[in-house]
Chain A
Amino acid sequence: MFDKVLIANRGEIALRIHRACKEMGIQTVAIHSTADADAMHVRLADEAVCIGPPAPKDSYLNMAAILSAANITGADAVHPGVGFLAENADFAEMVEEHGHVFIGPTPEHIRVMGDKIAAKDKAREIGIPVVPGSDGGIETDEEAFAVAKNVGFPLIVKAAAGGGGRGMKVAENMERLPEALSLCRSEAKSAFGDDAVYLERYLGHPRHIEVQVLADGQGNCIHLGERDCSLQRRHQKVVEEAPSPALNATERQRIGKVVTDALAKMKYRSAGTVEFLYEDGEFFFIEMNTRLQVEHPISEMICGIDLVREQIRVATGAPLLIKQEDVKFNGHAIECRITAEDPDTFAPSPGRITDYHAPGGLGVRVDSHLYSGYSIPPYYDSLVSKLIVHGNTRNECLMRLRRALEEYVIGGIKTTIPLHERIIIEQAFINGDYDIHWLERWMGLK
């Protein structure tokens, strides 16, 4: 087992990783920008190294500084967390070249799944159903028209180097297609440095359903069930639940098996999530995230498995001890992503936390780095807390969530707690009857 792990991230996920390490008797190294010197995980970690000024490109995206910190602290392994360098194959490679273990998949798998066109090809190759669309990238408008004739409208143009909900434009018909293509290309060029785009059928009322997997790089792969992440605003997830209210046990088993067979075949390693759009009983692969995800706690709550612990274990080269038949699903879990934003306008609201009181009680879990007196820096994303509840049934979960949100106090800044309180009393949410457009439509109506 590792003696020392360097946490190459910040905020609540860095705290999450620190906690898993501590429970395994592993020493932690927190790297941080000058703006994060008072972060909770920096205070708790065994060692801390300031690696740069606030800007992400000079700190959390600064590979040389992070590698240097790993070197001077003698870290055995590096956990990249979520975002930042977590899906940067070059970083994964460099970590290993410098004699540390990268806690995650192989650089090759990160690379293949990071290129959305290659990922789709790979998925097709290993037997995962995909959204009908262009066969690879689209170079010219003529190619696009040809695909449109086969696949039909509406179509969505997507950036090959995109992901995480960015770099997408919808074309409702043939007239709108050239504009959507050029807009997407230029956005992709400026956001990702690469204007390669591809086309897919735009599904009318899909749900976003993703499958959590865990593998050991030795041909063993299990799944921890699915998560329904359809409640999104501008392609960013707001509330997630597990299991999905839309699937029955048969469908769950079926898609789980398809995914684990495919990933076992490619000898995938560590945690990962395969994302699908689900419509009218059919699953369509959209992308795979070769890292831990923000919403991983809801899967942990229904399976009782610590995903970060398992990532660390397989990173040492140990085979997966858990077999699929050992994975038991128990009850229901829901997560609310609480951000430091105005609940109506979404204007960012960084600042100093005055009163802080997190909800507690049976089945309530708060993953947050906040504390009374902490100043949220304005340089990073606005996620400040994840409120996760678990119940024996979905109804119990809903009641518990309502109760927990009422108790939660985060003073001194604006948060989206009031928004969550409004969402969870909506009939559509209570019935589990929503798709990926529901939240934005409902907000448009408010």
Chain B
Amino acid sequence: MKTGSDKMAKLTVDTDLVDVLADLMEKKGLTEVEVTVGDQTLRLSKGGGVHTFAHMPAPAPAASVAAAPVAAAGPADHPGAVKSPMVGTVYMSPQPGNPAFISVGDTVTEGQTLLIIEAMKVMNPIPAPRAGKVAAILVDDAEPVEFDQALIVLE
């Protein structure tokens, strides 16, 4: 799921980096330097000032960076990933203040409630599709989730 904060990450100007790059340009007689870290790019050009911007999701095949709407890459592709069957809000315990349904390391049986997804004021318990051990919990309490989003990894 893409949220507002993914799309345009806060633009922070790393002034130390700017100083280092400016010195480098002077020493080496460069007119333009561009540095990319993650989805932020810093470009200095002589006479052109300092520019910081985030990559726009360009419509290029395969190598596109920013707009992939998948949660965590590794765990979500795990064969044991339990995916959300609906859109809603995850709750890790039956009631606020109660202990969570499961913790990492727990062994669960088929049909055991792993967590709840609330959609339109209806609480939907999400059962374990098979017995197994909880290897990872990929969502937090009260986090909004989308269809097919990986919630838990069961081994």
Per the bound structure, the CA–CA distance linking A49 and B147 in Å amounts to: 8
Interface residues of A in 27-77 (CB under 8 A from B): 27, 34, 37, 40, 42-53, 59, 64-65, 67-69, 71-73
Tell yes or no: B100 within 8 A of A by CB.
Answer: no
Q: Which of A17-25, A230-238, A265-273, A369-377 contacts B (4 or more CB under 8 A)?
A: A369-377
Main SS class of interface, B:
loop
* Overall SS of chain A's interface: mixed
Of B88, B147, B149, the residue contacting A53 (CB under 8 A) is B147
**Of B53-61, B73-81, B106-114, the one touching chain A:** B53-61
Which residues on A sit within 8 Å (CB–CB) of B3? 47
Would you call B46 an interface residue if the criterion is a C-beta within 8 Å of the partner chain's C-beta atoms? no
User: Is A44 a contact partner of B57 (Cβ separation < 8 A)?
Assistant: yes
The answer to whether residues A34 and B147 also contact, given A43-B67, A64-B119 and a CB cut-off of 8 A, is yes
Docked-complex contact B61 and A68, CB < 8 angstroms: no
Contact residues of A between 63 and 107, Cβ < 8 Å to B: 64-65, 67-69, 71-73, 98
Question: When the two chains form the complex, which single residue of B57, B69, B86 contacts A65, counting CB atoms closer than 8 Å?
Answer: B86
Known A-B contacts A371-B59, A374-B59; the reply to A71 vs B120 at CB < 8 A is yes
Asked if B7 lies at the interface with its beta carbon under 8 angstroms from chain A, I say yes
The size class of the interface chain A forms with chain B is 20 to 34
List A contacts of B4 (CB < 8 A).
Answer: 27, 46-47
Closest to A37 in B: B69
Chain A residues near B7: list those with CB within 8 A: 46-47
Q: How far is the CA of A48 from the CA of B88 in the complex (A)?
A: 13
Say how far B109's CB is from chain A's closest CB, in angstroms.
27
Q: Is the CB of A45 within 8 A of B86?
A: no
Query: What is the interface size of chain B, counting residues whose CB is below 8 A from a CB of the partner?
Result: 23
Q: Are A49 and B87 in contact (CB under 8 A)?
A: yes
- Of A47, A67, A98, most buried by chain B (CB within 10 Å of CB) is A47
Q: Which of A46, A65, A374 contacts B87 (CB 8 A)?
A: A65
Q: How many A-B residue pairs have CB under 8 A?
A: 73
Q: How far is the CB of B71 from chain A (nearest CB, A)?
A: 11
User: In whole Å, how far is B65's beta carbon from the nearest beta carbon of chain A?
Assistant: 11
Q: Once the chains are docked, how many angstroms separate the CA of A206 from the CA of B59?
A: 44
Question: Is residue B2 within 8 Å, beta carbon to beta carbon, of the partner chain?
Answer: yes
Given contacts A40-B59, A65-B87, contact A72 B69 (CB under 8 A): no
A65-B67 contact given A72-B88, A373-B61, CB 8 Å threshold: no
Chain B neighbourhood of A27, CB < 8 A = 4
Is B155 on the interface with A (CB-CB < 8 A)? no
Known contacts A47-B4, A50-B149, A73-B144; decide if A68 and B59 are in contact (CB<8 Å).
no
In the assembled complex, B50 has its CB within 8 A of some CB on chain A? no
**Residues 17-55 of chain B: 1 if any A CB is under 8 Å from the residue's CB, otherwise 0?**
000000000000000000000000000000000000000
B148 touches A (CB below 8 Å): yes
CA distance A191 to B3 in the complex (A): 38
Residue of B with least CB distance to A374: B59
- Residues 298 to 314 of chain A near chain B (Cβ within 8 Å): none
Provide 17 A-B residue pairs closer than 8 Å at the C-beta atoms, listed in order of the A residue: A40-B59, A46-B4, A46-B7, A47-B1, A47-B2, A48-B69, A50-B69, A68-B88, A68-B120, A69-B87, A72-B87, A371-B59, A372-B59, A372-B61, A373-B59, A373-B61, A373-B62
5 shortest interchain CB distances as A-B pairs: A373-B61, A72-B144, A371-B59, A68-B87, A48-B2
In the complex, besides A47-B7, A65-B87, A373-B59, 12 extra interface pairs with C-beta distance below 8 angstroms are A34-B148, A40-B59, A42-B69, A43-B57, A46-B7, A49-B1, A52-B147, A65-B86, A68-B86, A72-B88, A373-B60, A373-B62
